[in-house]
Amino acid sequence: MGGSTISNNQENEVKKYLLGQLEEADEERLELRLLTDPAFSEEFDTIVDELADEYVANELQGEERKRVEQHFLISTERRNKVKFAAELLERAEVERGGHNAGSEVQPVAAHGRGIFERMRLFWESQSFALRMGTAVAGLIIVVGVVMLLIPPNRTAGTYALLNLTMSSAERSAGSQTQSVRLEQGSPGIRIALSLPDQVPQAKSYRVELLDVQQSSRNLPITERTAHSLIVTIPANEIRRGSYIIRLYGNEQRIPGSYFFNVD
């Protein structure tokens, strides 16, 4: 049994002929081929059937659909072809598409196709809008399930931790300065600041962070004990570099600084 004997261009030309879109000279050339070339005639018939299927399956829209109705379907023979195509496609859908559980005909899997393959083909046959809508809905469900499964304190353990002791120096002491590395996905740095022993407890503390450009901002205190303050810096608010922390008690600067580097 042979395969296709005409090229895509010739196939397009046949479609144009069937839709009344060919120039007269091209039309004559095509018709002469129909009178002389049996292989071409067979291809012609195949294209006729395919066009009928596309019309029945609503694969043709707008002008193309209108042309089919005005040119392709003007003869009784073609209208009968479309009726047959509609019946055949509907039967295939009922007996092969899984809508008729009582069918004696085995499903497509008889050709060795698995359930996932059939699902994929079914998925691909749906409209773009339906596929997009289903994909978005699926994504929302997955995100929701993941958020429900993750315990709320799970991220706390992934903070980079630093324990800093106040230095009387005003500048970093090089190798003695602690460094912290922010791993990818870490939510930030949690810093425990030891309070100097000789300083009396203040009612309130303020923690100031300075970078190398001396721009400063206050850090929120997340925990306070008798001997330390804990501050957290979100990962998206800090970059690589050297930092200084200054401490204020009752809005009075406490002498000394905390130094650290972010690698």
Partner 1 sequence: MTNNKEPFDALLEWLDPDREKAGQRYEVIRGGLIRILVSNGLSDAEHYADEAIDRVIKRLPEIKETYVGDPAKYFHGVARNLIREARRRKEVVTEILPNLGTSKSDKSDTSECLSKCLEQLSPDKQEFILDYHLYKGHAKIEHHRQMAGELSISEGALRTRAHHLRVSLEKCVIDCVDNYGKNKTGVSSHRS
Query: What residue ranges bind partner 1 (CB under 8 A)?
Result: 1-4, 17-18, 28, 31-32, 34-38, 41-42, 44-46, 49, 53-54, 57, 59, 69-71, 73-84, 86-89, 91-93, 95-97, 105-106, 108, 110-113, 117, 121-122, 124-125
* Least Å from the CB of residue 142 to partner 1: 25
* Least Å from the CB of residue 105 to partner 1: 6
Nearer to partner 1, 1 or 146 (CB): 1
The β-bridge partners of 231 are 191, 221
At position 74, the amino acid (one-letter code) is I
* Least Å from the CB of residue 231 to partner 1: 56
Cβ–Cβ under 8 Å, residues 243 and 262: yes
Measure Cα distances from 56 to 85, 102, 234 in Å.
7, 25, 60
| Residue 151, both tokens | 């315990």
Query: Closest Cα to residue 246, out of 211, 213, 222?
Result: 211
* Least Å from the CB of residue 136 to partner 1: 21
* Least Å from the CB of residue 129 to partner 1: 14
Nearer to partner 1, 74 or 140 (CB): 74
Nearer to partner 1, 122 or 169 (CB): 122
Nearer to partner 1, 53 or 211 (CB): 53
Nearer to partner 1, 59 or 251 (CB): 59
Which residues are CB-contacts of 73 (< 8 A; sequence separation ≥ 6)?
A: 55, 79, 82
* Least Å from the CB of residue 102 to partner 1: 13
For 200-222, b where at least 16 C-beta lie within 10 A, e where not — what string? eeeeebbbebeeeeeeeeebeee
Nearer to partner 1, 92 or 145 (CB): 92
Residue 129's H or E segment, with its range, is helix 128-149
